[in-house]
Amino acid sequence: MSWPKEEPRRTREQRQEFAREMAEEARVRHWDFVKPYPEDETLLHRVIERPDDDAPRHAYAAWMLAQKYETARSIGGFIDDQLRVAEAYRADPRSDVSAILDVYQGRAQFRAWPAQHSHDLRLLLSESLIGDPTFYRGFVERVSVRAGRFLEIAEELFSLAPIRHLSLIGVPGVVDDLAASPHLARIRSLSLGRYSTDDELTDDTLARFLTSPHLGNIVHLRLGGQARLTARGHERVVTAPTLPRLSNFEVYTGVLTCWAEPVHENYDASKLSYFERPVVLRPEDWIVDLERRLGSVPCVHPEEHYGRYIVDIEAVTAHPIALDPAVMARRGQPVPDPGPKPSLMERRRQGLCAICGSASFAYEPGHSDAYSDPIGLAGIFECQHCGTHWYADQWPEKRR
């Protein structure tokens, strides 16, 4: 079973007792260590007690790198690499950290590895009380959890890992209790997604949540699949006095804007060629409508401030633009009308990214052989601006 399908089997006290029993068994059996790796518990506790401070993490990494065990050294190196990324983003939120990411086969692996270093959360994970552990600055900082369960286990969770980011579902059922929880003050980024109808937010439910006095450290907010929210809800978010540090606001409704060549209203998509089919993009229309009412809203333009449409949460956390007076001085200023939407096909014919218009790409050769790919069409072009992947065999203009 996996999150969000919970399978609670123990209380917090029982989980703590289990950990003590494992430690005692390790002592009796003369194991070198209880976890899959050696660890200085004092250094770990400093990391957990000071989640915003890099110094304890550097000390922990140095200790791990000095061990004779390869597992410990790999964890120490991983922590160092993640700290380097955070430091790069702190200096420049547009930093190119691809050289580090490539060592770990990309951004997704970089945030998910190493699995064994989430050992302290193993019981919560095994009961699916939390899910999706994600690493920032070398430790699990982000997990997915039901809002009601978070209220129950927050103290335990914060005692096991330096959690600063949450993905919550089930918010409507406990919205007032959640808004009143002081545990939110520790959170830097928040994702409110939809797995079922129990997770659906309305404008009024969102407004109740935004009254929380504990949201002052939120720099990143993502609303995923919340199709019942209207422009009124979006406006409440970006104008909420309880979100003074909000630097990146993302909305993914599932109803996406297609910027494609006009086709007959009764077209049969199954009969269109690949290049004639509408291409799905991030939904820009809500941003246009929002800025027509409010003027410039910096937090909805990550491409301007962080160099990408899909932003690494670490970049926003390390460099919140809401603290930049020059950026925030533009807030509310008139925004020029964006004009007609660009042509996807024309951009592609010019060898540009159809989504953002960038001409900057990285090419990753695909796995092919002379029989299945005689002229070398396998491979992927990755836009260096928005991160979109385009398959080389479906983009003849780019191959020329």
pLDDT digits (tens, 9 = 90+) for 303-344: 899 988 778 999 999 999 999 999 999 999 999 887 766 666
| Angle separating helix axes 12-28 and 147-160, nearest 10 degrees | 30
For residue 259, which amino acid is it?
W
Which tokens go with 134? Answer: 């994600």
Question: 390 near 398, Cβ under 8 Å?
Answer: yes
For residue 11, which amino acid is it?
T
Q: Which alpha helices (H) appear in 175-294, and where do they start and end?
A: 175-180, 203-209, 231-239, 285-294
pLDDT class for 280, splitting at 50, 70, 90? very low
- According to DSSP, the β-strands at 131-136 and 379-383 are unpaired
Element at 251 (helix H, strand E): strand 248-252
Lowest mean pLDDT among 75-89, 92-106, 140-154: 92-106
Whether the per-residue pLDDT at 218 is higher than 50: the answer is: yes
Question: 395 near 347, Cβ under 8 Å?
Answer: no
Whether the per-residue pLDDT at 117 is higher than 90: the answer is: no
CA 46 to chain centre: 25
What is the dihedral angle through the alpha carbons of 160, 166, 172, 174, rounded to the nearest 10 degrees? 20
Distance in angstroms (rounded) separating the CA atoms of residues 288 and 329: 19
Whether the per-residue pLDDT at 57 is higher than 90: the answer is: yes
Q: How big is the chain by its Cα radius of gyration, in Å?
A: 23
First vs last Cα of the chain: how many Å apart?
A: 48
Span 9-37, average pLDDT: 86
pLDDT digits (tens, 9 = 90+) for 245-278: 999 999 986 544 444 444 444 545 444 444 444 4
pLDDT class for 302, splitting at 50, 70, 90? very high
Lowest mean pLDDT among 49-53, 257-261, 341-345, 354-358: 257-261
Lowest mean pLDDT among 137-141, 173-177, 396-400: 396-400
Q: Is 106 left (phi over 0), alpha (psi -120 to 50) or beta?
A: left
pLDDT class for 76, splitting at 50, 70, 90? very high
Distance in angstroms (rounded) separating the CA atoms of residues 273 and 159: 55
Question: 387 near 353, Cβ under 8 Å?
Answer: no
